[in-house]
Amino acid sequence: MMEELDKPAAEFDESDLIPISAVQHYSYCPRQAALIHLEQVWEENLYTLRGRFVHEEVDQPGEEVDGNLRIERSLPLWSRRWGLVGKADVVEFHGLTPYPVDYKHGPRRPRTHDDLQVCAQAVCLEEMTGQLVPRGAIYHATSRRRREVECDEALRRRLREVVAALREALRRDILPPAPNDKRCRQCSLKSSCLPTVVADARRMARLGSDLYRVEEDG
Ligand code: SF4
């Protein structure tokens, strides 16, 4: 039962709230989350521009009502119990039950970090409305198809783990190592992160000793 889930008991202050977007970034790559949310690094590439274009279509706050369905766009979200803050692209209210819909560019495909973002929106909506939010969806703009996300116990537990790890990483203020794997191919932060360089320990050591030699010669 969702009511019996092992939810965080603490209430976080406003200054302790972390962005819902950081959950997705951390789940994708902890170094990416640290670069964006600690170092304030942000770079555009084809994928971020496509994402921005998709979001521009739903970023205007507004409300539509169609019978028993109410649609809120660009709705602010927060949860003091989870310590999260952010914004939902779209929330459909089917009667009283909220149903968050997150817009993504690209074709329909399952990705855990996208699911965690929907689940983070769901737990915020639960706290804000007092209603259970058992599911939400990702709208994949390229294929114009929805993929429903079940906010079940397993996903909520994973969300709790990721939020705790993210909070600790932000508190420690340390840049994690670069995994330098297939995730880097589509990452917009490649030129700031330099994953192939920092993942190559021998090369880093050589660069370090070269730097030291220049300083000595000078
Ligand atoms: S380039 Fe790779 S290691 Fe660096 S932030 Fe992006 S995904 Fe992470």
Top-confidence residue, 185 or 59: 185
Other beta carbons less than 10 A from residue 35's beta carbon: 22
C-alpha 171 – ligand 1 centre gap (Å): 20
Top-confidence residue, 99 or 199: 99
pLDDT at position 186: 86
Question: Is the Cβ atom of 88 under 6 angstroms away from ligand 1?
Answer: no
The string of pLDDT tens digits covering residues 134-162 is 999 999 988 888 999 999 999 999 999 99
pLDDT at position 41: 83
Listed in sequence order, the DSSP H helices in the chain are 20-28, 30-37, 46-56, 112-129, 153-172, 190-193, 195-198, 201-217
Rounded percentage of the chain residues whose pLDDT exceeds 70: 79
pLDDT at position 106: 72
C-alpha 191 – ligand 1 centre gap (Å): 9
pLDDT at position 47: 66
Q: What is the mean pLDDT of residues 172-193?
A: 91
Second-level CATH architecture of 2-176? Alpha-Beta Complex (3.90)
Question: Is the Cβ atom of 31 under 6 angstroms away from ligand 1?
Answer: yes
CB 95 within 8 A of CB 73: no
Q: What is the mean pLDDT of residues 203-207?
A: 67
The string of pLDDT tens digits covering residues 113-133 is 999 999 999 999 999 999 999
Q: Whose CA is nearest to atom 3 of ligand 1?
A: 178
Mean of pLDDT over the chain: 85
- Domain segments of the chain: what residues? 2-176
